[in-house]
Every structure is written in C-alpha cells, then in structure tokens.
Structure 1
Amino acid sequence: VNIYPQKRILRGAGFGVAALGWGTSPHFRCASLLVVPKFLGKEGRIYILTYVLARVFDGPVANTRHNLGEVVRSISCTVEMQIDNAKRAWKISLSPLRKILKDMVRSGKTLRSETRDVSRSFSELNEQVASEAGLGVRSVRSAVHKANPSTQEIYEAKTRMRCTRKHMGKGHVGL
C-alpha cells in the first residue's frame, strides 16, 4: 500500500498513543472497550456508514472521476489526431493531381509558344501555297484533278505549274 509520509507518521503516532494508553491506563482500556458496543448501535452504524461512504468517495469514486476525465482528454486528443491525419492524407493524396495540373499548365504555355514558332517557320511556305504568282490562266484545282485537294497537293501542283511555265519560256519541254 502506498501511503504518503505524513499519513504514515499520523497513523504511527495514533497506534503509539493507543498502545501507550492500553499499557498504562485502565480508564483508557475501559473507554476503548465501551466504544465497540456503541458502534454496534444506531449511532455507531451511522458513524461507520459515514466513514465507509467517505472512504468510497475518497477512493474509488475519486479514481473513477479522474479516469473519466482522462477518457475525455484521450478521446479529444484522438479526434484531433484523426482530423490532423485526415488533413495530411488529403494533402498527400491531392499532391500528385496538383503536380499534374501544374505540369499541364506549364506544358500548355510551352505548347502555345512552340505552336507560334512552328507557325512562324511555315508562314513563308503558306504564303507560297496561297500565292497565285507565275501560274498563268490554268486553274490549280484543274491541275490537281480533285474536288478538295490537300494543301500538299495544291503546293505540288503550283510548283509543277511554275516549273513548267518557267522552263517553257526558256525553250524546255514542260512536264
């Protein structure tokens, strides 16, 4: 039993006084023996019941109250930890998606700039395809022999027509 040092001293002193009284005084022995029947009466039972209830409230009830306080503290701590863990798990689970979205935004900007670069580099070719210079009277569509020719087919036809016209003017036979 774990007894605090002050209580140990008081109990030792109480037993010492009782032992001294029993050993030296017949009045003390008589008084202490008459206390036993008094405890068996109505007042004694009330005193004993009060003492037992005080000890119960001092021991198990106080312990239960303390334990309930610890349970409440433990549950609130657990709930806080679960909330924090859920927040961390949510952030961790969304981080790959966030990274993908950021990469897509960066890729979109890069794609736009590369598309502009490609458009600039093909602008001269587009101008040549669109140009009607040096073609004469013949229609490009009739030279391709298609209703909806591709850009490549139009470009090839225009090139053939320009080459034929250029070589025809110098005395060469056209293709």
Structure 2
Amino acid sequence: MTRPRTALTCCVLALVAAGCGIRPTDVTDGGTAPSGISKGMRIYFASDNGPRGVPRPEVTFDQLDDAFKLLIAGPSPAERADGLTNLLPTDVDFSADAVDGEVTIAAPGYPTGSSQDQATGQLVCTLARAEVLVHGTRPDKVQVIIAGDGERVGPYRCQQFLQR
C-alpha cells in the first residue's frame, strides 16, 4: 500500500470508530413504564370514529348495574363539545349479571337487530370495563351478551367495536 492510501484508510477507520459524533450520556430515569389497562372506570360514548372511552377515575362502584347510570347520564358538556354523544335509549331498564367473565345485559325493549352499531358498542365496552373493575376479570376474557325482546345477541368483545 502506498502512504496516501494507508493514511486514507487510517482516517476512514478513525471516523468509523468515532461513531456519529453524539457523546454518550448517563442513564436517565423515564419514570414507571405503563402497564396493563388504564386504572378506573371508562365510559364509552359514540363519536365520528366509533365508540370512544372517557375516564371516570373518581367513580367507584361494586355492582355492574351502576355502569348504566353513568351511560345514561351521557357525556359531560366538554365531552359533547369534543363530539361525543350517547346513542342509548334512556327509557330501557338495563340490568346486568356476570358469571366467569360472561356479562349478560338484560335490555327489554332494546333493538338487537343492528348489533354492530355504536350504541351496542357503548354497552359492550362500558360493561366489559365494569366487569374488569367489579370482578377482576382479565380484559381479554370478558364477553358480553345482550338479551332484548326475546332475542340474544353476542357474545361480543369490546375490541370488535374499537377496530374501525
């Protein structure tokens, strides 16, 4: 090898060894990593992009039926301004029971014909979240059945309504 070629090779190797010029830093603490699902209750309302959950961290309850009160109350004024709405009928007497992660919603008078609509998504996702909080069921194990007007539809999982 000639001297200029040797010098060029040494320069290239020095640059490669130096890296990109960014100096290493000490380890920084980014805080606790998020894990699992969010804490607290989430109520689902209809939006232009399908059901959307809104947090209700201050709400605690020990019965699934309490979730219906939150749904029927509808979104807050700020949530309405953000495009959320409640599509559930307010005149249906909803109730729910759960056995081994399978939630059955009794909804006399509720139209079950269009079972993939946002109103059904509101029910399924809100009651699935309530089941997780009330009975400690794993979110991926919760299934929801809706029984209305002599017809049962489901079982549904919340993810079916959120993947739009």
Report the TM-score, using the length of structure 1 for normalisation. 0.23
The two structures have a TM-score, normalised by structure 2, of 0.24
Q: Highest CA radius of gyration, 1 or 2?
A: 1
- The structure whose residues are more often strand, as a share, is 2
Which structure has greater helix proportion? 1
Which structure exhibits the higher relative contact order, with contacts defined as CA atoms closer than 8 Å and separated by 6 or more residues? 2
